[in-house]
Structure 1
Amino acid sequence: MTQQPSTRSTIDVRYARWSGPGQPFALVPATTPRMPHPGEVLVRVDLATVCGSDLHTVAGHRPAPRPGVLGHEQVGTVVAVGEGAPPCQDGTEITPGMRVVWSVTASCGKCHRCRRGLTQKCERLRKYGHEPLDERAPLTGGFATHCVLLPGTTVVAVPPALPDAVACPASCATATVAAVIAAAGPLDGRRVLVTGAGMLGLTAIAMAATAGARVTAVDPDPGRRAQAARFGAHDVAGTGEVHGEVDAALELSGHPEAVRTCLGSLAIGGRAVLAGSVSPGAPVPLDPERLVRGLGSVAGVHNYAPADLQRAVDFLTAHHHSYPFAELVEGAYPLTELDAAVAAARSAVAPRQAVVPHAS
C-alpha cells in the first residue's frame, strides 16, 4: 500500500552517534523523507534496549564500523510505507499505526546464500545497529527516534497486549533463542542443559521448559541461578557443578568453560548448539572420537531466519504472563542519557536497560 506524501516532504529526527570506544554518544538532529523509498518502511522507535552486543561494541571488544548508530533491539510504530514494501512475516499488510518489531538483518534474497535459505548470512547483508554511519541516511539503528527498514527486512506485528518492554528484545535475544531451540530439535521429554542465565539463557530455559524438556541451568552468579528457577529450570548449578549427561546442550554465555561443559555433557545422540561465542575467545578442544562414537553433533547459530522472529513474538505473546519477562528490562533513559543507560547495563541486575528515544 502506497502512502500519499504530506505537504511537508521531510520530518525531523534525531539519532545517537557513536564514534568509538571511550567516546560519548552525541545526539544529532537530522531530517528524513516523510515518504520512504520504494520497498522501505519508516518506523518511529518507541522503545529500544541495550543488548550485550552493544556493550561489547562500546567497550571495543567487538569490531564495529565507526562512527555508527548502535541499537538493534527495539519496538516501534509504522509511520509510512514505501511503494511495493512486502508484508509482515505472516502475510499481514504493513500499515501506518501498526506496532512492529523487525529483524537484525536485511537480506538481498538473490545471492547464493539467500537462495539456500541462509538469508541471515546474505552475501550483501545489512545489519541494523552495525552499519557505518551515512549522514545522508543515518537511521539504521535503534538508538534513534526513527528507523528506516530496508527491503529484505523481516517485519512482525506486535499484538496490543504485549508490552513494549517485553516485545523489545524479540528482535535479537528472543529470535536468536528461537533459532537455537529450532536447531536443537524436538525437546519434549529430553534432558536439556542451558549454560548462561542472562537474557538469552533465561529465554532459552523458558522456551525449552515450555516445550516439555527437563532443564538444568548453569551460571556462576547465584542471583541468575535464582532467576533461572523462576523461568522454568528444574535444576540449577554453578560453573563446574554439572554432573550427568543431556540430550541437548544450549550454550548462550560465550565463555570457553561453558562451551567445554556443553560438549562434555552430551549423551549418545546428543546435540550441542552454540550461540554465545560472538566475540573472540580462547579455543576449546574437541574430542573427535567421543563425538563420533557418541553420534553427537554440534551446531552454531548466529543471527536468525525470518520464521524465528515470528516464533519469538508468538512465544512472548503466549507466555509473557507465565514467566517474568517484564522484570528483565528496567530503566527509561532518553537518548540524551544513552551513556548512562550503557553504564547501568554493565552492572544492573536486570539484563536489559530501556531507552525511550522520544523522551526529552
Structure 2
Amino acid sequence: MKGKVAVMTEPGRLEYQEYDLPQPGYGAVLLEVLRSNVCGSELHIWRGHHPVKKRGGIGHEMVGRVTALGEGVSTDSAGETLSVGDRVVATYFQTCLSCPQCMRGQYNLCDNAYEFFGLQPEDSPHFHTSFSTHIYIHPRQHIYKVHEAIPDSVAASANCALSQVYFGLDKIDLKYGETLVIQGAGGLGLMGVAVARERGARVIIIDSVKQRLEQAKSFGADVVINIDDYPEVTERQNLVKSLTAGEGADVGMEVAGVPAAFNEGVTGLVRRGGRYLVMGNLSPGRTIDFDPGLFTRRAIQVLPVDRYDGRYLFKALQFLENTMDKYPYEKLIDAEFDLCCVEEALDKSASRQVTRASIVIK
C-alpha cells in the first residue's frame, strides 16, 4: 500500500508525493492521520521565515489511528495498553535522553529533537510529518491514547497548542489571583485562556481579529482588546494599566509571533517586577530596536520557552477530559480542508481569512 505526503518544494509552493507504507521497526508505531491542524509554526515555514526548513513535509499538530505496532510496543508512553485501531496523539519531536540538555533534565531542549521530523520525505520511512495520510512514530517520541470523551477535532489541538501553553504557564509559574495579558488569540492564545482560568487567573487578551476575540470571550477572557480600536502601542499599554490599578499585568504571554509584540510587552503591558513568557517569536533574524536600560529599570523576568516536555501531552489530554464541558474546544476549528487542499488552508490561515484550519484526512 502507498501513502501520500504534502511536500513544500519551496516557501509558498506545494506538491504531493507517494511512498510505500513502511513496516514499523522495534519500538515504533505507524499511524493513519485522522486530522492535522494548521499551527503558527507551519505559517512561519510557509512564509519562508524558518531559519532552516525551506522545503519538505510539513504539519505536526495531529490525531491519528494506530495501523501497525512495531516489535516491543504494547503500551503508550503512560503505560496504557495500545492496540491497532486505537486513536492516539504523539509529539512531533523526540526526547533522546542522552544529549547534554536531556542529561540536565531540560527535555524540551533536546538537541536531537528533530532528528526525524526534519528529514525529507524521500528519506525512509518517508512519513515524518502530519499533512499526510500516515505518520511514523519513532521509539523516543511520546505517544498517548485518546479516550472516547475527546473527539478528533479537539484531540488534534492537544499537540502542540495546549501542551505548549500548559508547559509555558507552568514554567512562568502563573498563580491564582494574578492577571495574565496574552498577546495573540490564535490556537495557543485561546488555549492559554482556558489554562489560566483553571488556575484562577484574570485574563486580558489582545488581537486584531474580531472573530478570535469573540472566541476568547467564550473561553472566559475577562477583557478583550482589539488592536484596531487601540492602534497605538501606548494606547494598549495605558489601557492594560488602567485595568490593573495603574501597574500592568503580573504576567505576559507572547504568542503573536510578531517581534514588535515583545517590546510592547516588556515596556508597558507587564508591571514592574513582573514576568514575561515568550513563545510566539520563532524566527531568528527578525529584529527590533530595544532599550536595555528601560528593561533593567523595569526588572522584568523574561522566559523564552522552546517546545515542551513531551509528558505535557499526557497532561493536556487529562486537562481536556476534565474541562470538556467548560470550554468550547470544538469551535476552535472554523475551517476544514481535505488533504488535497493544504495549500489553500495555509494561504487562508496566513491571510487570516480563517482563525484555525484543520486538514481532515478521508
TM bracket, shorter-chain basis: 0.7 to 0.9
Give the deviation of 1:151 after TM superposition: 1.6
Task: Say whether residues 1:344 and 2:334 are aligned partners.
Answer: no
Q: Distance in 2 between matches of 1:220 and 1:328?
A: 17
Task: Say whether residues 1:308 and 2:312 are aligned partners.
Answer: yes
Task: Say whether residues 1:171 and 2:175 are aligned partners.
Answer: no
Give the deviation of 1:355 after TM superposition: 1.3
Match of 1:40 in 2: 28
Q: Secondary structure at the match of 2:9?
A: coil
Q: Report the RMSD for the aligned CA atoms in angstroms.
A: 2.2
Match of 2:324 in 1: 320
In structure 2, do the counterparts of structure 1 residues 348 and 273 end up closer, same or farther at CA, with 3 Å as the change threshold? Answer: closer
Task: Say whether residues 1:183 and 2:188 are aligned partners.
Answer: no
Q: Distance in 1 between matches of 2:100 and 2:124?
A: 30
Q: Distance in 1 between matches of 2:115 and 2:217?
A: 34
Match of 2:264 in 1: 261
Matched AA of 1:92? E
Q: Distance in 2 between matches of 1:333 and 1:349?
A: 14
Match of 1:285 in 2: 290
Q: Unpaired segments of 5 or more residues in structure 2? A: 228-232, 242-247
Q: In terms of mean alpha carbon deviation, does 235-244 or 141-150 score higher?
A: 235-244
Q: Unpaired segments of 5 or more residues in structure 1? A: 1-10
Q: Distance in 1 between matches of 2:335 and 2:299?
A: 46
Asked if 1 retains the 8 angstrom alpha-carbon contact of 2:31 and 2:65, the reply is yes
Q: Distance in 1 between matches of 2:84 and 2:52?
A: 32
Asked if 2 retains the 8 angstrom alpha-carbon contact of 1:179 and 1:304, the reply is yes
Match of 1:329 in 2: 333
Asked if 2 retains the 8 angstrom alpha-carbon contact of 1:39 and 1:82, the reply is yes
In structure 2, do the counterparts of structure 1 residues 284 and 164 end up closer, same or farther at CA, with 3 Å as the change threshold? Answer: farther
Asked if 1 retains the 8 angstrom alpha-carbon contact of 2:183 and 2:207, the reply is yes
Q: Distance in 1 between matches of 2:163 and 2:288?
A: 27
In structure 2, do the counterparts of structure 1 residues 224 and 17 end up closer, same or farther at CA, with 3 Å as the change threshold? Answer: closer
Task: Say whether residues 1:197 and 2:185 are aligned partners.
Answer: yes
Give the deviation of 1:128 after TM superposition: 6.5
Q: Distance in 1 between matches of 2:13 and 2:86?
A: 35
Give the deviation of 1:63 after TM superposition: 3.5
Give the deviation of 1:77 after TM superposition: 0.9
* TM score, norm. by length of structure 1: 0.88
Matches within 5 A, 1:54-133: 54-65=42-53, 67-85=55-73, 87-126=75-114, 130-133=118-121
Match of 2:245 in 1: none
Give the deviation of 1:147 after TM superposition: 0.7
Superposed CA offset, 1:215-249 (max 9, x none): 11112333332322221111122443233212111
Q: Distance in 1 between matches of 2:353 and 2:136?
A: 32
Q: Secondary structure at the match of 2:170?
A: helix
The partner residue of 2:149 within 161, 173, 184 is: 161
User: Number of residues paired by the alignment?
Assistant: 345
Give the deviation of 1:150 after TM superposition: 0.8
Matched AA of 2:342? L
Asked if 2 retains the 8 angstrom alpha-carbon contact of 1:105 and 1:120, the reply is no
Q: Distance in 2 between matches of 1:151 and 1:288?
A: 47
Q: Distance in 1 between matches of 2:188 and 2:116?
A: 19
In structure 2, do the counterparts of structure 1 residues 119 and 87 end up closer, same or farther at CA, with 3 Å as the change threshold? Answer: farther
Match of 1:3 in 2: none
Q: Secondary structure at the match of 1:153?
A: coil
Q: Distance in 1 between matches of 2:132 and 2:295?
A: 49
Task: Say whether residues 1:50 and 2:38 are aligned partners.
Answer: yes
Match of 2:19 in 1: 30
Give the deviation of 1:181 after TM superposition: 1.1
Task: Say whether residues 1:299 and 2:303 are aligned partners.
Answer: yes
Give the deviation of 1:106 after TM superposition: 1.1
Give the deviation of 1:104 after TM superposition: 2.2
Asked if 2 retains the 8 angstrom alpha-carbon contact of 1:107 and 1:151, the reply is no
Give the deviation of 1:251 after TM superposition: 0.9
Asked if 2 retains the 8 angstrom alpha-carbon contact of 1:191 and 1:247, the reply is yes
Q: In terms of mean alpha carbon deviation, does 208-217 or 312-321 score higher?
A: 312-321
Q: In terms of mean alpha carbon deviation, does 60-69 or 225-234 score higher?
A: 60-69
Task: Say whether residues 1:234 and 2:239 are aligned partners.
Answer: no
Superposed CA offset, 1:7-62 (max 9, x none): xxxx4322222211242322x2221234x101111111111112222122122122
Match of 1:222 in 2: 210
Give the deviation of 1:107 after TM superposition: 2.4
Q: Distance in 1 between matches of 2:54 and 2:94?
A: 20
Matched AA of 1:274? V
In structure 2, do the counterparts of structure 1 residues 272 and 66 end up closer, same or farther at CA, with 3 Å as the change threshold? Answer: closer
Matched AA of 1:262? G
In structure 2, do the counterparts of structure 1 residues 68 and 325 end up closer, same or farther at CA, with 3 Å as the change threshold? Answer: same
Asked if 1 retains the 8 angstrom alpha-carbon contact of 2:206 and 2:226, the reply is yes
Q: Secondary structure at the match of 2:264?
A: helix
Asked if 1 retains the 8 angstrom alpha-carbon contact of 2:278 and 2:302, the reply is yes
Matched AA of 1:236? V
Q: Distance in 2 between matches of 1:120 and 1:86?
A: 25
Q: Distance in 1 between matches of 2:13 and 2:270?
A: 44
* TM score, norm. by length of structure 2: 0.87
